[in-house]
Structure 1
Amino acid sequence: MSRLHDMGGRFGDGAVVPDAPDAPVFATDWHARALAVTLACGALGKWNIDVSRHARECLSPKDYTRFSYYEKWISALADLLVETGVLTPEDLKGQSGDGLHALASAALRAEAVAAVLAKGGPANRPSAIAPIFAPGERVKTRHPGGSALVDGGHTRLPDYAVGACGQILRQHGTHVLPDSNAHGLGEAPEPLYAVAFPASELWAHPEHPHDEVVLDLWQSYLQPLEPGAQI
């Protein structure tokens, strides 16, 4: 299944133009509000970060291609709020009745924001799955790519790295598997690795063939490299 949002490393979208050093964090006020509302709603505990990422991926192709970054965020948030029963379409239209929402007591208060953001959301978990790769070992990402658990589902294996050969730099411990966590299938923690790929392995005509791209990839994304294969 084509994953429209999987745009990393794609040719033809033009150069990446960094913001000026003195550029504001948010281009407009509503961008800041979109981020704040998304974080506040996430604090209600009705979904996890992988569910929210997949919600953005599930926007219609027409909307995904025409929406700006924060339009994607706020549109996916609206979908999540309805899908999880937090709000109704009428609520979003301002047509619901007055009264205190059932989740009002779980609201993220202004005075708690700094502590919540500082705490973060660590994804390292104990796991019964032992690491099978060691630093320095050569590996290949699985092919085909996409989710191996849910058709058209969420995965953190980018399309441009599917079937590519790289080398293990380090093992990060065991972490929640997004492919499972995004679909209510459990956290399914497994070993996570930093893997270095030569640019020449990822693209047919890289501008700098000897550059490296380092990706954090879960063990189920990787296979041992066949004997004699070259990177």
Structure 2
Amino acid sequence: MSRLHDMGGRYGDGQIEPEAEDAPVFSEEWHARALAVTLACGSLGQWNIDISRHARERLSPVDYTRFSYYEKWMAALANLLVEQGVLSREDLLDAPGIVSEGASEGEPPAKAHPLSPRRLAAQKVAGMLAAGGPADRASAVEVRFQPGDRVRTRRSANTLVDGGHTRLPTYASAAQGVILRQHGSHVLPDCNAHSLGEAPEPLYAVVFEAGALWTHAEHPGDEVVLDLWQSYLEPV
């Protein structure tokens, strides 16, 4: 079963309206702060990008539908901080600007957190953003497909963890496509999101005709290119 976030090609969600080319990067000041806090917390090394993506997917359907984009980020981040033992629920309630029951604004600051030495200093931000987080890895898994090979995707589901994270969207389940290129080997999100190791395997760009993905595609001959891991594919 898919989670609410897996909504590609679904009916009833309205037309996508692209923003104007001159639109600001962040429509509200706190959006930039939400991104900054998320990146800073990620530098503590208590989770990886796949775990953080899965945290957003795991938000309750009620919250996922009513939250804005960056509200989803902040809600998932709060959950991660508590789940990984970085902070407690009480810590979040007692954060600056939030006074919980029984707390006083005049209380002395808490002692330094054990992870403080790993904090992302301002002077390191530019270098960290420039370096990114490459996910290409050496792998012992043999490359199974070559450009031009016809393949079919398996059902969209994590085969290792029930209800777990996967990068194979539901709309591309059991669809036939053609290998466009091979990207080398990359970390498998289905494992990495659940702390089961990186399990790198070959990654491919796969081309699908819109008519192979949707029964009533507006332009059946249009092409959609998805980057998919080898374990998502089988030969036709």
Q: Which residue of 1 aligns with 2:35?
A: 35
Among 145, 158, 165, the residue aligned to 2:169: 158
- Aligned CA RMSD, in angstroms, stands at 1.1
Per-residue displacement from partner, 1:122-155 (whole Å, max 9, x unpaired)? 1011111011100000000003x21111000000
What displacement does 1:198 show? 0.1
Q: Which residue of 1 aligns with 2:97?
A: none
Quick check: 1:137 aligned with 2:149? yes
Question: What are the ranges of 5 or more consecutive residues in structure 1 without an aligned counterpart?
Answer: 226-231
Quick check: 1:26 aligned with 2:26? yes
What displacement does 1:2 show? 3.1
Q: Read off the aligned partner of 1:65 and give its amino acid letter.
A: T
Q: Which residue of 1 aligns with 2:213?
A: 202
Q: Which residue of 2 aligns with 1:228?
A: none
Q: 2: distance between equivalents of 1:21 and 1:177? A: 34
Q: Read off the aligned partner of 1:162 and give its amino acid letter.
A: S
Among 93, 115, 125, the residue aligned to 1:103: 115
Q: 1: distance between equivalents of 2:184 and 2:2? A: 31
Q: TM-score, normalised by structure 1?
A: 0.95
Q: 2: distance between equivalents of 1:222 and 1:175? A: 15
What displacement does 1:48 show? 0.2
- Partner of 2:152: helix, strand, or coil? strand
Q: 2: distance between equivalents of 1:121 and 1:89? A: 29
Q: 2: distance between equivalents of 1:103 and 1:175? A: 29
Q: 1: distance between equivalents of 2:138 and 2:114? A: 34
Q: Which residue of 2 aligns with 1:128?
A: 140
Q: 2: distance between equivalents of 1:195 and 1:28? A: 37
- Partner of 2:128: helix, strand, or coil? helix
Structure 1 outlier segments of 4+, above 4 Å: none
Aligned length: 224
What displacement does 1:191 show? 0.3
Identity percentage of aligned residues: 69
